[in-house]
Structure 1
Amino acid sequence: MSEIRIGIDVGGTFTDFALATPGGLRTLKLPTTPRAPERAILDGVQQILREAAIAPEAVTGIVHGTTLATNAIISRHGARTALVTTEGFRDVLAMGDEGRFDQYDITIVKPEPLIPRWWRYGVPERLAADGAVLLPLDEQALHALARTLRDERIESVALCFLHAHVNPAHERRALEVLQPLLPGVLFSLSSEVSPEIGEYARFSTTAANAFVQPQVATYLDRLETGLAALGLTAPVFMFLSNGGLCHLDLARRFPIRLVESGPAGGAVFAAQLARDLGEEAILAFDMGGTTAKICLIDKGVPRRSPSFEMAREHMHRQGSGLPARIPVIDLVEIGAGGGSLARVDAQRRLQVGPESAGSDPGPACYARGGTQPAVTDANLQLGRLAPEDFDGSGILIDPGLATQALEAGVGAPLALDPLAAAAALAEVVEEQMAGAAREHAREKGVDLRPRPIIAFGGGGGVHAARIARKLGATRVIVPQGAGIGSAIGFLQAQAVYELSRSVAMPLSAFDAGRYNRLYAEMAAEAGAFVTAAAPGAQQVAQRTLFLRYKGQGQTLQIPVEDADLTDQDAPRLHALFQSHYAALYKRALERIPVEIVALSLRVAAEGTAPTPAVTDRLDRPLPETAMLYDLTTGAMVPARQILRADLGPRPLQGPALIKDKGTTIHVPRGFDARTIEGGHVLLTYTGQEG
C-alpha cells in the first residue's frame, strides 16, 4: 500500500499542512486557533484531504509539531506547579548557577523561576554524591505536604532531590507516597526527565516539564480524539526538539522535549536541501508569523546541543534564559515574524517585537480588530506583499487598515509618512534578525559570509535578500514549498531518542565493565522508544562522551564507536580527547588528569522517509509589473512580477517579485534570481545596485 502522510506544524500565527502522496506533495496554510489549537488542525486535515480526494482511512501516518509548550513557558501560562526537593534546597531555581550573561551590567535582569517560592517545598531526606543514603526520606512530611498541595490546588509536581541522578530511590518513593494522595495531579521526576549532574539545570528542566505537562497532555488527548472522530486511524507522532519523532505517550510524559519542535523541523528541511544540493555549509533562516529561527548546518547535518535556554530575557544573549538539559538542534529563535508589532518608545526609538499580533487579532490589515502596525502591514505598504497572496487562508486583507496603523503607530510619533514608516519598520526587523545571526555565529566561531542562506517560512523569501546583504552573504536559496518548510521537515524525519547519564570516571581509573553496563542499559531504554515509533526499522546508535580536564567546568563532546570497550582502551580515549582539545584551543594540556563526566546515546531508525516533489502551483494570473519600494531610490518603482513556475535558468534582475502558493520572494535591486536543480530559486548578489 502506498504511504500517505500528513505533516502538521502549529505556529503562533499559522498552522501549516504538508500532505505527501504518491502523486506529489500538497500544501495548505490556515490561521492558528490559539484558544484551541486542535481546531485549526482538524479543519485543515479535512480540507486538504477533501481537496486531494483522499479518504481519512487511507492516511498511513501523521507527524505533528507544536509551539504549545514553548508559548506556555514564554508567556508563563502553565499549570499551578509545585517543586518538592531536599530540605534546604528550594531556592536552587532562584539562585541558579551564579553566572552572569553580562559581567558589567549592574542592573542585570535574570529570568524568574517558573515555580514561585511559595510553591517550592523542602522535605527531610539526603543522598550523598555517590547515591548513598545519608538521611532517609521522611514519609510523614510527605503526607503533611500532600494536604498543603491539595489546599493550593496544585496541578503538577516536580520531584527534584539532591543527587537523584545517581540514585532515584527517594524520588520514586516520594511518587509512590504522593500519587495516591493527590489524584489527578501529574508528576515529573528529575531522575527521569534529566538524569544528569548539575542541580540547577536538572531542577530547571524538570520544573519546565511539570509546568507544561497538564496543558500538553490535555491538548494531545483532544487532538487524538478529534482525529479519530474524523476517521483517521493512522498513528500520530510528535516531532521532537532534537529533530526526531516519538509516540504520543512519550510526548505526554516528557513535553519539555517538544519545546523547539517546530523550528527543529525547519532545520531538518534545510539540512535535507543542503545535502540534495551538495552545499557543505549553510545558514538556515526560517521566518514565520511570530518568530524567526536561525540554524547553522554543516555537511548536511544541523548542529546539535545537549541543552538550550528557554525564554531568554535579554534578546538573544547566551545565559539570559532558563536552562533545559535536553538534546536539541542548536538554533536561535527571536520574536521577529510577520505578526511582530511595532511601537515607538519614550525615547522615540522604533521597536519591533517580540510582542506579536498572532492570528487573532493579527496584523491591522487582517481586519480582525488589530490596530498596532505589524511587519506584515509594512510589507503590504512596501508592495512586497499583495492582498491576493493570502487567498485560500480565510483571511481578507484590507491594505487601508495597514496604512492607518503605520501612520498612527509609527508615522505620527516620528513625523514620517506611511511609506517611510513601513521602510523603517522593515529595516529594524531585518537588522534584528541579522543581529541574531551574527551573535549566534560569534558564539560558534563561524564566518557567515561564504555560507548561502536557505530561506523558508512564510516571510523567509520576503526578507532573506536584505538580511544576506547585512551579513555579507551573496547567495540565497528559496526552496520549493518554502512557506511550509517545517511541516515538510517533519515528514523527512526519523524516529530518534537521545538520553544521557552522568558518571564520574577518571580515565586513569577507567572501568570498562561499568561503561559497558551503562551503555547497555541506555541502549535498551532508547531502543524501546524507537521501536515503539518505528516498529521493524533498523536502528543506528551513536555514542558521545563528555570529557574534561579535572577541575574544569566545561566539557568536550567526543563521538566514539558503538561497541563495548576494555580497560586497555583508556589511553586511546585520552589521546582522542587531547586531539579534540588541541583542535579547538590550539594546544593540549599535559600532566592534567582527564575524566569522563557523562555518557550520551542517540538511537535512530535508519533511513529517511522519501518526500515527493511539491505539486502545488499558484495558478492565478499576475500583472506583469507591480509597484515595489526600492531602498536605493527610497521610492516606489515598477518591478517585474512573475510566477515561480515561469522562472527559468535565465537570471531575472531585481527589483522583482516572484510569487508562488504560500511564498513570495522579494528580489531587491542588486540581486538576480533563477531556477536551479529541484525547482528551487537561487538569488545571487551582483553588486549592481545603482
Structure 2
Amino acid sequence: MTTALRLAIDIGGTFTDTVLVSGDETILASTKTLTTHQNPAEGALEGARRVMAQAGRSLNDVTGFIHGTTLATNALIERRGAVVTTVCTEGFRDILDIGYERRYSQYDINLEKPDMLVPRERSLTVCERMSAEGKVLIELDEGQVDRLLAEIDASAAEAVAICLMHSYANPTHERRLRDLMARHRPGLTVSISSDVSPEAREFDRLCTTVANAYIQPLMDSYLTRFVDQFTAEGVTCPILMMTAGGGMCTIGTATRFPIRLVESGPAGGAILAARIAARAGLDQVLSFDVGGTTAKLCLIDKARPQTSRSFEIARAARFIKGSGMPVRIPVIEMIEIGAGGGSIAGVDRLGRLTVGPKSAGSEPGPVAFMRGGIDPTVTDSDITLGYIVPDTFAEGHIQLDPAGAKAALRRVIGDKLGLDATGAADGVSRIVVESMASAGRMHAVESGKDLGPRTMIAFGGNGPLHATRVARSAGVSRIVIPPNPGVGSAVGFLFAPVSFEIVRSRYSLLDSMDMDGMNALFDTMIAEAKEVVAQGAGDAPTETLRTAFMRYSGQGHEIEITLPDRALTHRDIAQLTAAFEREYRKQFSRPVPGMKIEILNWAVRVATPGKAVPVVSETPGQTAFQVTQTRPITCDLDGTVKQAAFVARADMCPGDYVAGPALIHEPQTTTLVSADFSAQMDAIGNLVLIQDQKGGA
C-alpha cells in the first residue's frame, strides 16, 4: 500500500515555504524558496519540485495539498485590487464616509482617515427597503437596474459590492439584484453582503463586502493559474486553501469568499504553536512568528489560539483601533507588524534610526542577497552582527554578500549617525526587537493578559533568530523552538481541519426566544456549512459547534457563549443565562442584576475532528553538548565581540545542553541563544531556551 503524502505550501511576502509529510505525520522534506511576485506559483512549483526530489517522489503521488498565501492580504494593504462600485439602499449612499461617526484619534488635527477603497462617486443606490425583521417595506425597483448598469459602466468598475439594508434578515432583494447584473453583465464580479457577512451593523457588513469584491477578480485569476500549473505538473488531488479562521476550504469556496483567505499564512503558524503547546503540556503560550516581511504574535491558552469575529485592514495608525477598514470574518486573533528580515532601515529627517514597516521582500531583497537591493535591512544587520552565517543560510541556495551588507549599513545609517557598520547593525537590531516586544505587550494588555508567565513558541525564518532578544524585552523567560521552525506556518497547515463557519443576525430576547424559529435557523445554517465542508472532506465525519453572541439589553458589544449541540428548548434558558453571567463576570468582574439578556448573532462551525495530541511529559537528563566550532558574534547584551558555539541542530539529541552565546543552525533558520540563555533539546525534539544567566556578561 502506498504511503499517503501531504504537501503544504505557504507563500509569504519574501519566502515561499514548502513541506512534504507522510501519512504518519513525519516530515520527509522541507524547503524555502524566494517568492516570485509576478507569478507566485513559479516559486511554489520550485519548492514543490525540490521537496519531491529530496523525498524521491513525484507530484502525482501527493494525496493531500494545502495552500496558504499572503496575496489577498498584500493586495488589500498595497491597494492592488479591482475597481469597485457599491450599491446600497436609497438614502444610505454615505455609509462608508460616515463609518462609526467618530474620529479614531479625537485631537489629531492631521488625522488620516482610513481608505475605504470606494470613493463617493462610485457609491450608488437603488430604491428598496427591508425591515429589521426581514419584511419587505419597499419592493426592489427593477426599473432602476438599467440606470445602475450604465453608472457602473461609466465608472469602469470591475466588481460590485451590494449591501442593502437588513439583507441579513431577508436576502431576497440582494440576490435578485445580483442575478439581474449577472444576466446583463456576465463578466462583472458581484459580491452580496448576505453571502459574505450576513450580520447586523451595515458599516462593517459593507466594508467586508467591499473588501471581498476588491480582491475577488485577482484571487480568482491567481487560484485558477495556481491549480492549472500544478495540475500540469501532475497533481491529481484537490487543492485546499487555508483560511484566516484556522480551517481549510475548497478552491471554489475560496474564490467566492477570498476575504476569508486574509491572514491565512499566520493562522497556520498559530495552529502549529497550539499543537506544540498541547504536546508539551503548556497552558499559557505566546506564539512568535517572524518571516521576511512581518512579525505575528498570538496568545494561546490551553492549546487554543484566541479567536475573533473581526479585525482591521491597513490601519492608518498602526496601533490605534478604528484607523483601518473593519472586516467581519472568523479569524485567529493576533497582532501583526511590519518587522521582519526584509524590513528596511534608515534615518529619518529628524536624525532618528527607523526600521520598517516597508520591506525589501524578495524583489530586490536585502542588500546581501545581491539581487539589486540598495537599502539595508534587518537581515543585513543580522549578517553584520554574525548571527547569520553565510555558509549555512537557506540550504546554500542563496549566496550572501556580507561586505555589501556592511557597506550599505555604513552608507545609509553609519555615516549619518557617526557609527561604524557594526554599531549601525546593533542599532537596527535593538529597534526592531523593541518594536516586536512592544507589539506583544500591547496585544497582551488589550486582551487583559500578562506575558510574564507565558512560554514563547518561536518559528518562521527569523523567529528563532530574534526570540531571545524579544523575550528579554517582553519579560518572557522561557522559549520553545519546534523542529523545522523555518517553515512553521506550512507545517501548521497540515494539522488544520476542513471547516466552515456561518454567522447570521437574528435579534431575540433570551427569555422570550422563538425556539422553533431558532432551531429552524440552525438547521439551515448547519446544512449550508456541511455542504461546504463536504466539498473538501467528502463523507468524513464532522463536528458541529453552535454559539450565540449575547449581551445585556442596550449594550453595544456581545459575548460569545457556546450552545448545546442539539435543538434548543425553553429549559435551556436558565443554563444560558448562567453561562452568560459567568463569562460576563470573567470579563467585567460582576454581572448586572435585573437586566434583560438579548442575542444578536447566531453562529455555526462545522469541521472535521482533529486528532488527539498526546502530552509528552518526560524530561530527558541534561548532557553537555560537545562544542567543536565557534563563530564570532556581537553580543546583544553588551555589544562586545564574543565567541559563540556553532552547533548543527541535527547533531543534537534529547537532553543535549548548550550554554549561550550559541548559534544553533538548521537548513531554513538559525536559533540565536543569547549569552544570558541556555538551550536544551527536550524529549520530542524541541529546543527549550531558558533565561538562566549562564554565560551572561
Kindly report which structure 2 residues correspond to 1:269-418, keeping only aligned pairs within 5 A, or say none. Answer: 269-392=272-395, 394-418=397-421
Aligned-partner SS, 1:501: strand
**Cα deviations across residues 508-536 of structure 1 (Å, max 9, x unaligned)?**
31111111111111110111111111112
Take 1:609 and 1:209, find their aligned partners in 2: how far apart are those partners? 35
Take 1:380 and 1:24, find their aligned partners in 2: how far apart are those partners? 29
| CA shift for structure 1 position 632 | 3.3
Matching residue within 634, 642, 654 for 2:639: 634
Take 2:628 and 2:143, find their aligned partners in 1: how far apart are those partners? 77
State the match for 2:480 in structure 1. 477
Partner AA of 2:9 in structure 1: I
Question: Contact conserved, 2:498 with 2:607, CA < 8 A, in 1?
Answer: yes
Question: Contact conserved, 2:395 with 2:667, CA < 8 A, in 1?
Answer: no
| CA shift for structure 1 position 82 | 1.0
State the match for 1:582 in structure 2. 585
Take 1:211 and 1:481, find their aligned partners in 2: how far apart are those partners? 35
Partner AA of 1:3 in structure 2: A
| CA shift for structure 1 position 645 | 2.1
Take 1:353 and 1:39, find their aligned partners in 2: how far apart are those partners? 27
State the match for 1:251 in structure 2. 254
State the match for 2:152 in structure 1. 149
1:624 aligns to 2:625 (yes or no) = no
| CA shift for structure 1 position 349 | 1.1
Aligned-partner SS, 1:678: coil
Aligned-partner SS, 1:312: coil
Aligned-partner SS, 1:396: coil
**Cα deviations across residues 276-301 of structure 1 (Å, max 9, x unaligned)?**
11101100000000001000111111
Question: Contact conserved, 1:382 with 1:419, CA < 8 A, in 2?
Answer: yes
| CA shift for structure 1 position 590 | 1.3
1:655 aligns to 2:656 (yes or no) = no
Aligned-partner SS, 2:43: helix
State the match for 1:174 in structure 2. 177
Take 1:413 and 1:297, find their aligned partners in 2: how far apart are those partners? 42
1:267 aligns to 2:273 (yes or no) = no
State the match for 1:429 in structure 2. 432
- Identical-residue share of aligned pairs (%): 43
Take 1:173 and 1:497, find their aligned partners in 2: how far apart are those partners? 25
Aligned-partner SS, 1:197: coil
Aligned-partner SS, 1:110: coil
Question: Contact conserved, 2:291 with 2:460, CA < 8 A, in 1?
Answer: yes
| CA shift for structure 1 position 328 | 0.6
Matching residue within 240, 263, 269 for 1:237: 240
| CA shift for structure 1 position 260 | 1.0
Question: Contact conserved, 2:394 with 2:669, CA < 8 A, in 1?
Answer: no
| CA shift for structure 1 position 192 | 0.3
| CA shift for structure 1 position 665 | 0.5
Take 1:400 and 1:515, find their aligned partners in 2: how far apart are those partners? 68
Q: Give the gaps of 5 or more residues in structure 1.
A: 612-621
Take 1:411 and 1:76, find their aligned partners in 2: how far apart are those partners? 34
| CA shift for structure 1 position 99 | 4.1
| CA shift for structure 1 position 635 | 2.3
State the match for 2:8 in structure 1. 7
Partner AA of 2:298 in structure 1: C
Matching residue within 50, 75, 78 for 1:75: 78
**Cα deviations across residues 86-106 of structure 1 (Å, max 9, x unaligned)?**
122222112211244434434
| CA shift for structure 1 position 169 | 1.0
Aligned-partner SS, 1:566: coil
Take 1:266 and 1:66, find their aligned partners in 2: how far apart are those partners? 13
Kindly report which structure 2 residues correspond to 1:469-548, keeping only aligned pairs within 5 A, or say none. Answer: 469-548=472-551
Take 2:98 and 2:278, find their aligned partners in 1: how far apart are those partners? 44
Take 1:318 and 1:687, find their aligned partners in 2: how far apart are those partners? 38
State the match for 2:30 in structure 1. 27
State the match for 1:684 in structure 2. 690
| CA shift for structure 1 position 46 | 1.9
Question: Contact conserved, 1:492 with 1:610, CA < 8 A, in 2?
Answer: no
Aligned-residue RMSD, C-alpha: 1.8
Aligned-partner SS, 1:669: coil
Aligned-partner SS, 2:488: helix
Question: Contact conserved, 2:62 with 2:237, CA < 8 A, in 1?
Answer: yes
Q: 1:338 to 1:550 in 2, by over 3 A?
A: same
Take 2:27 and 2:342, find their aligned partners in 1: how far apart are those partners? 31
Take 2:222 and 2:137, find their aligned partners in 1: how far apart are those partners? 42
Take 2:665 and 2:561, find their aligned partners in 1: how far apart are those partners? 46
Take 1:623 and 1:90, find their aligned partners in 2: how far apart are those partners? 71
Partner AA of 2:273 in structure 1: A
| CA shift for structure 1 position 134 | 2.2
Partner AA of 1:682 in structure 2: V
State the match for 1:16 in structure 2. 17
Aligned-partner SS, 2:350: coil
**Cα deviations across residues 610-651 of structure 1 (Å, max 9, x unaligned)?**
99xxxxxxxxxx971111011333222221111112234243
| CA shift for structure 1 position 43 | 2.0
State the match for 1:667 in structure 2. 673
Q: Give the gaps of 5 or more residues in structure 2.
A: 615-626
Aligned-partner SS, 1:315: coil
| CA shift for structure 1 position 352 | 0.8
| CA shift for structure 1 position 391 | 4.4
Take 1:481 and 1:547, find their aligned partners in 2: how far apart are those partners? 42
Question: Contact conserved, 1:650 with 1:674, CA < 8 A, in 2?
Answer: yes
Take 2:206 and 2:414, find their aligned partners in 1: how far apart are those partners? 47
Question: Contact conserved, 2:87 with 2:161, CA < 8 A, in 1?
Answer: yes
**Cα deviations across residues 382-413 of structure 1 (Å, max 9, x unaligned)?**
00002223344642211111111111111112
Take 1:286 and 1:326, find their aligned partners in 2: how far apart are those partners? 22
State the match for 2:619 in structure 1. none
Question: Contact conserved, 2:394 with 2:667, CA < 8 A, in 1?
Answer: no
Take 2:156 and 2:586, find their aligned partners in 1: how far apart are those partners? 54
Question: Contact conserved, 1:86 with 1:124, CA < 8 A, in 2?
Answer: yes
Question: Contact conserved, 2:503 with 2:601, CA < 8 A, in 1?
Answer: yes
Q: How does the TM-score come out when normalised to structure 2?
A: 0.95
| CA shift for structure 1 position 318 | 2.6
| CA shift for structure 1 position 503 | 1.2
Q: 1:144 to 1:557 in 2, by over 3 A?
A: same
Partner AA of 1:345 in structure 2: D
Q: 1:391 to 1:526 in 2, by over 3 A?
A: closer
Take 1:645 and 1:38, find their aligned partners in 2: how far apart are those partners? 31
State the match for 1:619 in structure 2. none
Take 1:99 and 1:70, find their aligned partners in 2: how far apart are those partners? 26
Partner AA of 2:62 in structure 1: V
Question: Contact conserved, 2:29 with 2:54, CA < 8 A, in 1?
Answer: no
Q: Which moved more, 1:141-150 or 1:653-662?
A: 141-150
Question: Contact conserved, 2:19 with 2:27, CA < 8 A, in 1?
Answer: no
Take 2:129 and 2:425, find their aligned partners in 1: how far apart are those partners? 60
Question: Contact conserved, 2:469 with 2:636, CA < 8 A, in 1?
Answer: no
Q: 1:155 to 1:427 in 2, by over 3 A?
A: same
Kindly report which structure 2 residues correspond to 1:28-177, keeping only aligned pairs within 5 A, or say none. Answer: 28-177=31-180
Take 1:86 and 1:584, find their aligned partners in 2: how far apart are those partners? 37
Question: Contact conserved, 2:199 with 2:505, CA < 8 A, in 1?
Answer: yes
Q: How does the TM-score come out when normalised to structure 1?
A: 0.96
Q: 1:650 to 1:42 in 2, by over 3 A?
A: closer
Take 1:262 and 1:282, find their aligned partners in 2: how far apart are those partners? 19
Partner AA of 1:214 in structure 2: P
1:602 aligns to 2:609 (yes or no) = no
Aligned-partner SS, 2:498: strand
